[in-house]
Chains A and B, each alone.
Chain A
């Protein structure tokens, strides 16, 4: 409460009720997903048929559990592979962008900064489609001119990585720029005065300063990539990542194995969130 401002008791109660309702609204769909992952029924629906762990450990179809579902496990592997690459590439690009926009003054800087923000206002589907169109056209052109097919320009993991890097780089850049602005350049100058080469000064003074931010930006980009759907949908080849595989099953109508996948995703996301928050706390301390 802002202590000096009166608020009548019924009004206060009403407000608290609203907050409670809001929290229930947030948690409800997730709780439902968790609950039905233990339901001993072939459909994620009522009635409740009793508790089971089959949707995690079941070995036989139709009660094939997550840990024995080869297709789902494979798609998790695909997603992790893509997310890892996206994280590495986006972080490297973002670090360059941060240094560029914080350390240097140059003509057209404001304009380039706005261009850097562009991916945030391009719908993910359009981003995916535009990359699909241009890479395919380029590949077609090369094939016609040199009779050589550049396979990675066709829909597949590489294109997905490129499509996701296009917008995740912007998000990482914003995070790193905000942190780098707080860096006192005299620290690096001190290192230079003490005889360090610019490269050594950067690695021993600036990078440690940025380390916690790099870790949390990395976690965010990994998750964003892992969970991306819109851009990925347009660029997917034969090796579908998890979100696409789940989407296809959802449309066909699936067993509660999708619930158990979701629960695993929740656990991993929560774990990564905790790691990221701890790192941010360290940074503030």
Chain B
């Protein structure tokens, strides 16, 4: 190995500054604040009280579990819906129609999540399009509120995250040689056999990276649960927001932040472990 010259250190500096000042130190600082006792009178002291609050208050705990559970569900749903579409784009569509289909899947996501969520709100709300159409066809008599329930939150989460599933899936499936699939059928495999033994194992890196990104986006989402779910959406990021901005209880908010970070790291880690992938391989492509 040749000696590293001044150029190396000049390039290392901005990298180190970015990583330290914007990522590592802020998170360590948040960890420290989460262990502080909230008090205006006594001098600074350390405590686990903020974490104990989390376990003692059923509201916090339930919101946490609910957010994790709904995010996992949203991830699986997104995968199920996206997979046939990705397979169609990667393997069945050819030439122009392939490019057009892929563009059609990507373009809506160049747009703000806010606009997409707004579209669903116009469709689903009580005076909205769906309610109006159903009334027009005489299926219902009075307007129905389709917003502010778990199903609509799920719809919003799946829609928002769709692209981040489709793109990794398409690129993983494209690298699968057609002849492997043919060989599977030649050897007498059924559709299901070929899918399970050949297509899915090959697409695994794409599936894992898609799932990780979608899960992260759902877990950390604030906008969609808040707008589509309304006051009772009970999303954990809303608890964090409330503690920080509304109640100005930064110690409690930091503890919540750390807990959410731990949860997301844990699930990402488990996902990588179960599928035998590494972060560099799935993300750093």
Give chain A's interface residues, CB within 8 Å of chain B: 1-2, 4-5, 15, 18-19, 22-23, 25-33, 36, 43-47, 92-93, 96-97, 99-100, 104-106, 110, 112-127, 129-135, 137, 162-163, 165-166, 169, 174, 177-178, 198, 223, 226-227, 229-230, 233-234, 243, 246-247, 250-251, 258-259, 262, 265-266, 269-270, 272-273, 277
Contacts and interface: CB of A to CB of B under 8 A. Distances in A.
Chain B at the A interface: SS class = helix
A134 B30 contact: yes
Contacts of B4: 104, 106
Contacts of B52: none
A131 B22 contact: yes
Contact of A130 (B11, B27, B216): B27
B222 interface: yes
Contact of A133 (B105, B112, B254): B254
Given A22-B81, A105-B1, A113-B280, A265 B23 contact: no
Given A125-B237, A134-B30, A29 B119 contact: yes
Given A5-B182, A45-B127, A121-B216, A129 B240 contact: yes
Contacts of B15: 93, 96-97, 100, 112, 116
Given A47-B132, A266-B115, A230 B223 contact: yes
Q: Name the residue in B19, B103, B185, B261 with the highest tally of chain A Cβ atoms < 10 Å from its Cβ.
A: B19
Contacts of A124: 220
Contacts, number: 237
Interface of B: 1, 4, 7-8, 11-12, 14-15, 18-19, 22-27, 29-30, 33, 81, 84-85, 88, 91-92, 94, 101, 103-108, 110-116, 118-123, 125, 127-129, 132, 159, 162, 178, 181-182, 185, 212-213, 216, 219-223, 227, 237, 240-241, 244-245, 250, 253-254, 257, 260-261, 264-265, 268, 279-280, 283-285
A162 B20 CA distance: 13
A129 B257 contact: yes
B118 A162 contact: no
B222 A30 contact: no
A251 B222 CA distance: 13
Given A137-B29, A230-B223, A247-B114, A106 B108 contact: no
A12 B92 CA distance: 10
Nearest 3 pairs of A and B residues by beta carbon:
A123-B220, A29-B119, A130-B26
10 contacts: A1-B94, A22-B85, A26-B105, A32-B129, A43-B127, A121-B216, A126-B261, A130-B257, A133-B33, A265-B112
A28 B119 contact: yes
A94 B15 CA distance: 8
A130 B122 contact: no
Contacts of A132: 244
Contact of B123 (A32, A178, A226): A32
A162 B240 CA distance: 20
Contacts of B106: 273
Contact of A92 (B8, B14, B227): B14
A26 B158 CA distance: 11
A272 B110 contact: yes
A259 B116 CA distance: 11
